[in-house]
Structure 1
Amino acid sequence: MQPLVEPFFDSVTSTLTYVVHAGAGSVCAIIDSVLDFDPKSARTATCSADRVIAFVREQHLTVEWLLETHAHADHLSAAQYLKRTFGGRIAIGEQIRTVQRTFQGVFNVEVDAAADGAQFDHLFAPDETFTVGALAARAIHVPGHTPADMAYVIGNATFVGDTLFMPDVGSARCDFPGGDAHALYHSVRKLLSLPQETRLFMCHDYPPPSRNVCWETTVAEQRRTNIHLHDGVSESDFVEMRTRRDATLSMPTLILPSIQVNIRAGALPRPESNGIRYLKIPLDLL
């Protein structure tokens, strides 16, 4: 059985959320949801997630999984909001503990963000198999962008997170704490060893002016035309290119609020004595 994939593009963060299911009335997984956040006012909103909710209700789907490909640095996760609405298990790769340990020091976070992964309902081991209703699925560990990145193979569809972008955009940066361009190269080769016809779904798209936003490609297309990682690109050439390119990139606008929330499985910090929640901004660190 092959999955149906419904994409939701958030233009503010260039993020794709996916609902993966087998048809109306079936079980589904929601991948990489978005909680809206205005960095100027620090206000949250649920417009992006509400679009997903409307679709799930229209199709009479049962949410089994709320999957995160990694602890995103460019948007806040809406997993907790969706779980309150539908239930389901929030899941990520087990190496999220490494990311939590790294950012515990950055943010000096309190006990509700302990580095044990317990904030998530399930932590996937590398190559762990699972199901989305009648759909067979597998979690693949694809480190490089972060130590904890996962890709999810569901039927003939693979959700690659921030390993690959569309072929004319290339690959994800590797200069965040714990990132590793060598590891990303090997992660991508692992993904591109899947069958040629495998559908690959991107976590983001940053299109050049010559085309509209796209999010689906194939293993064959990536191997043939990816500007950073097409067949024939050596590990050393990729690492040299990625290191040089990363040195020119500024930090994502939402990295500081996003990471604090996403290592908590999308939970906001606890209210302080005045009833207000606060995010921390470390000075002169990143």
Structure 2
Amino acid sequence: MTNIDPKVHTVFESKTSTWQYIVADPDTGDAVIIDSVLDYDPSTNTISTTSADELLSIAEENSYNIVAILETHVHADHLTAATYLQKTLLGRGKPKADICIGKRIAQVQQNVAQRYSLDAAECAGVFDRYLDDDATLPIGRLAARVLHLPGHTPDHVGYAVGPNVFTGDSIFLPDVGSARCDFPGGDARALYASMARLLALPPHYRLYSGHDYPSAGQEPRACATVAEQRDRNKHVGGGAPEDAFVAWRRERDAGLAEPRLIHQALQFNVRAGRLPRPGPAGDRFLHVPLKVPPALL
């Protein structure tokens, strides 16, 4: 580890309100991409690569060597561009950038495969690295340390690079608060503990969020300091008690609608962004469950 501060590029994808990050060693040019987005239009069932290509353009303009593509968890609100990024970089003659995720991904893959009747073989070995808690990944002369931050999902991890932590959906900006915990394996008490772990970091540390949901007329914000989160986070700031948070979070989650892209995102992301296998006519399919009234059964 060194005292070098990384160069952090923040790229906001407005349709899913997702923050994507490129984190680079400014001296060596080695860099990682965190939580990339592949664009999906549910009205036409069309995938496109505009957001991912913006990340590639930033990397090219800065002469970065992308050494890894990191996922904080299996996202339920957007499709990952991890495999597209890896293949495109390889096609440009770049070294392979491993696609990495926390080691507990197998539990989520099993849940998703059962729900959507996926062939388990399509999920096997799709990530290049399954990261242990507190493992470190070199980024030039820097290193990213893996933090297990469960609650939103059981596999959720964050990445600490110097005084910067890329938290995914383990904590949101102070005016947004916290993420839902009603996905399979989610747990409000575990999320509280994960947020408490982040809030115990030094006050000047910057916590980079996986999303922001700004009010009309406001610009999205990527990060807040630990001190800001301690003081102003609307759900856990000011020393909010654990039991009160857990009760509120469970009640709140019980009334939330599903994320708009949950069915497409889960099936795509447990495959690390690989396409489903083509059917006999060459088409590729994602399963979308029907909600059927009793009169039709």
After TM superposition, is the score higher than 0.5?
A: yes
Alignment of 1:256-275 (within 5 A): 256-275=263-282
Q: 1:24 to 1:275 in 2, by over 3 A?
A: farther
Q: 2:239 is aligned with what amino acid?
A: G
Aligned to 1:168: 175
The one of 9, 25, 40 equivalent to 1:37 is 40
Q: How far apart, CA to CA, are the structure 2 residues paired with 1:233 and 1:107?
A: 38
User: How far 1:211 sits from its partner (Å)?
Assistant: 3.0
SS of residue matched to 2:229: helix
2:137 is equivalent to residue 137 of structure 1? no
Aligned to 2:72: 69
- Alpha carbons 2:105, 2:155 under 8 Å: kept: yes
User: How far 1:284 sits from its partner (Å)?
Assistant: 3.4
Write the deviation string for residues 106-131 of structure 1: whole angstroms up to 9, x where unpaired.
011014334x5x21000111111221
The one of 58, 69, 77 equivalent to 2:61 is 58
Aligned to 1:237: 244
User: How far 1:58 sits from its partner (Å)?
Assistant: 0.6
Q: How far apart, CA to CA, are the structure 1 residues paired with 2:10 and 2:185?
A: 29
SS of residue matched to 2:137: strand
Aligned to 2:92: none
Query: Where in structure 1 are there 5+ consecutive unaligned residues?
Result: none
User: How far 1:244 sits from its partner (Å)?
Assistant: 1.5
2:97 is equivalent to residue 94 of structure 1? no
Q: 2:281 is aligned with what amino acid?
A: N
Aligned to 1:202: 209
2:223 is equivalent to residue 216 of structure 1? yes
User: How far 1:265 sits from its partner (Å)?
Assistant: 0.7
- Alpha carbons 1:73, 1:258 under 8 Å: kept: yes
SS of residue matched to 2:236: coil
- Alpha carbons 1:3, 1:156 under 8 Å: kept: no
Identity %: 45
SS of residue matched to 2:33: strand
Q: 1:188 is aligned with what amino acid?
A: M
The one of 13, 17, 27 equivalent to 1:14 is 17
SS of residue matched to 1:84: helix
Q: 1:39 is aligned with what amino acid?
A: P
- Alpha carbons 1:24, 1:60 under 8 Å: kept: no
The one of 113, 116, 136 equivalent to 1:104 is 113
Q: How far apart, CA to CA, are the structure 2 residues paired with 1:24 and 1:54?
A: 19
Higher Cα Rg, which structure: 2
User: How far 1:101 sits from its partner (Å)?
Assistant: 1.1
Q: How far apart, CA to CA, are the structure 2 residues paired with 1:175 and 1:236?
A: 17
The one of 154, 170, 184 equivalent to 2:161 is 154
SS of residue matched to 2:207: strand
SS of residue matched to 1:8: strand
User: How far 1:136 sits from its partner (Å)?
Assistant: 1.9
User: How far 1:25 sits from its partner (Å)?
Assistant: 5.6
Query: Where in structure 2 are there 5+ consecutive unaligned residues?
Result: 90-95, 293-297
Aligned to 1:125: 132
Q: 1:279 to 1:235 in 2, by over 3 A?
A: same
Aligned to 1:253: 260
RMSD in angstroms over aligned alpha carbons?
1.4
Q: How far apart, CA to CA, are the structure 1 residues paired with 2:79 and 2:230?
A: 31
